[in-house]
Amino acid sequence: MSRRARGTVEPVYFCRLECSLGPVLMSSDGRNLTGLWFDGQKHAPAIGAHWIRDEAKAPFAETLAQLQAYAAGSLQAFELPLALQGTAFQQRVWTALLEIGCGSTSSYAQIARRISAPQAMRAVGAAVGRNPVSVIVPCHRVLGSDGSLTGYAGGLPRKQALLAHEGVFDADLVQDGPALNFGPVAAQGR
């Protein structure tokens, strides 16, 4: 939450999406994507009084279009305006996540080395878990140093499904479910 002038709070615009992995909440400052969370995701914010539902706000339509292209397999890297709110350390970690290509993975230790903090693996893990823009800032591509599937704020089944979609995991090992897809939700209530 950012403040404009003393005592006034800037609005947060939001919309919801349907996804084969569960409902999604997106937030924007009116220009940049500020959040994308699956329902029930750890650290997802509660919709507050200053939140305004507005599917027409930027960059929701473009975000949906790119998520649909990703789900169809025709998009490998997202190109969206992002405004991620976090500490300087979290920002460094999230920037490193953006460098992990589709179909690739990294470990917490590799990310710690990449940001010149080789002893900060646990702090890297905490920052990864606080990523406010799931899927687009690809925290699902982070595995344990031994290649094992480790925590995901959106839940391990979602992480498995995203990695299977990208060809990292054998899709047959992931529980049967519909193919990855994203779509709009009819405008209604909060």
CATH architecture for segment(s) 12-80+179-184:
2-Layer Sandwich (3.30)
**The two structure tokens encoding residue 118:** 């080789």
Smallest CA-to-CA distance from 55 within 189, 190, 187 is with 187
Dist. CA 13–CA 51, nearest whole Å = 6
What is the set of active-site residues? Answer: 139
Q: How far apart are CA 124 and CA 17, in angstroms?
A: 29
| pTM exceeds 0.85, yes or no | yes
**Tell me, what DSSP letter sits at residue 169?**
S
Q: Which residues touch 65 (CB under 8 Å, ≥6 apart)? A: none
> How confident is the model at residue 9, as a pLDDT?
85
Domain locations along the chain: 12-80+179-184, 88-173
CA atoms within 13 A on the CB side of 153: 23
What pLDDT, in 10s, does the model give residues 91-121?
999 999 999 999 999 999 999 999 999 999 9
pLDDT at 151: 87
- Residue pair 55/25 in contact (Cβ under 8 Å)? The answer is no
- Note whether 12-80+179-184 and 88-173 share their fold: no
Please state which CATH number belongs to domain 88-173.
Answer: 1.10.10.10
